[in-house]
Each structure stands twice: as structure tokens, then as C-alpha cells.
Amino acid sequence: MYKFIAFDFDGTLADSKEVFARAYNQVAEKHRFRKIDADNVEELRKLPIRQRFDFLKIPFYKIPFIAPQFLAAYRAMLPNVTLIHGIRELLESLTAEGYRLAIISSNSEPIIRDFLRTHGIDSIQDIYCSQNIFGKDRVIRKFMNHHGLKPSELLYVGDEQRDIVACHRNTVAVVWVSWGYDRKDSLGPEMPQALVDSPAELLQFLRK
């Protein structure tokens, strides 16, 4: 029985694709990285995250330096980030059914809290964020240790291949959602416990 359901933020709860691309392109122009545009966005969605950085010509060593610039640009555009259709109802249903809810994300906690406050969502009990885009497995482990959770007591819901990898490293069950950043054909051998196409379908999965 799951005690906690933890969600990714961008692409899973929040529809931030357009804002993400605009914020990234501001940084890309400054540093002369390859930009995201209508011609390459679908190609990027097929690639694992490390290959995306290669495609966009971003050296790995620069990521810690450009991340604050990206988050500042993203936060300035936060009013344009919307809630995924059906998520409000999903969170309300899960809370009513006794689940405890959290967010584990690579975004920043102040940005996420601003978004939740703006949209009147108060059912999220914990927000854990990773400053390292490749460090979500460690944050999941920290979250579990803080709450004294066994792997079987946590379900993670995310939209990227790296979410699945991070959960597998902690033997945590994971559900992948199709409405986010990664395409299904980018998952490779890293398969989740379930793949869902809508928040309503996620609720059905949990009720089985």
C-alpha cells in the first residue's frame, strides 16, 4: 500500500513546455547554444537527457553555471505556466482517499510554491528539489529517509526517462505519464510499472 505519491513538477503537474523553451532560448542566445524551435522540439523529445545536451551543444560542465540563469528566466514567465487539465481533480481525489502527496523535482522550491499558491493547491505536503539535474535518485532517497518510508510505500509519477531510472535505483514504483516532456519511444529499456495517458487513468490505476 502506498503511503505517499510523489509527483514530478514540469510536464507532470504543470504545462510548462512553452515557457521552458522560451526561458532556455534566452540562456542559449547569451551562451551561443543551439536553440529549441518548432523544427527540433519533437526530435529533442525522443532523446534521453544527456543526448539532449549534446544536441543543443551544451557542455556538461556549464550546467551548474547556467541553471540559475534559466530558473530566473523561467520564474519571470511563471504566470504563463498552467496546470495540466485534470490534475486539480486528481489531487483532490487522492487526498480524499487518504494518500499523502509530495513533489520531487529538478525545478526550484520557491518557483513550485509560487505556482501552487497561485493555483490554490494546498494538498501537497512536501516539496523536495534537486540542484543537480542528474541527482533525482538521491533526492528520492533523502525523501524516503526523512519519512521513514520503505520503497513499497512510495509511488513516483513522472514524465521523463530519467525519472524512471531514478526510481529504479531506489526500487520505487513509478508511473510514466504521456502528456509531459518525453515521448514513449525515448524510454528505451527503462520501463515503468504503468504508462498512463490522462490524470483520470492514473486514478484508475491506483484504485485497482
* DSSP labels, 135-153: -HHHHHHHHHHHHT--GGG
pLDDT of residue 152: 97
Q: Which of the pair, 30 or 49, is modelled with greater confidence?
A: 30
**What is the rounded average pLDDT of the residues 44-73?**
92
How far apart, in Å, are the Cα atoms of 186 and each of 45, 159, 164, 183, 198?
A: 7, 11, 12, 5, 19
**pLDDT at 36 exceeding the cut of 90:** yes
pLDDT of residue 183: 86
pLDDT tens, residue by residue, 141-156: 999 999 999 999 999 9
**pLDDT at 190 exceeding the cut of 80:** no
Q: Which three cell numbers stand for residue 156?
A: 513516483
Cα–Cα distance measured from residue 26 to residue 35, given in angstroms and rounded to the nearest whole number: 9
**pLDDT at 46 exceeding the cut of 90:** no
pLDDT classification of 78: cutoffs 50, 70, 90: very high
pLDDT classification of 49: cutoffs 50, 70, 90: confident
Strands 14-15, 82-83: pairing kind: antiparallel
The rounded percent of the chain whose pLDDT value lies above 90 is 84
**pLDDT at 47 exceeding the cut of 80:** yes
- Backbone φ and ψ for 140, nearest 5 degrees, come out as -60, -45
The residue assigned the cell 484508475 is 204
**pLDDT at 188 exceeding the cut of 80:** no
pLDDT of residue 1: 84
Cα–Cα distance measured from residue 108 to residue 129, given in angstroms and rounded to the nearest whole number: 6
pLDDT of residue 50: 87
**What is the rounded average pLDDT of the residues 11-40?**
95
For the entire predicted model, the pTM comes to: 0.94
**pLDDT at 48 exceeding the cut of 90:** no
pLDDT tens, residue by residue, 168-181: 999 999 999 999 99
pLDDT of residue 180: 92
How far apart, in Å, are the Cα atoms of 114 and each of 14, 76, 109, 110, 164?
A: 12, 11, 9, 6, 27
**What is the rounded average pLDDT of the residues 41-63?**
90
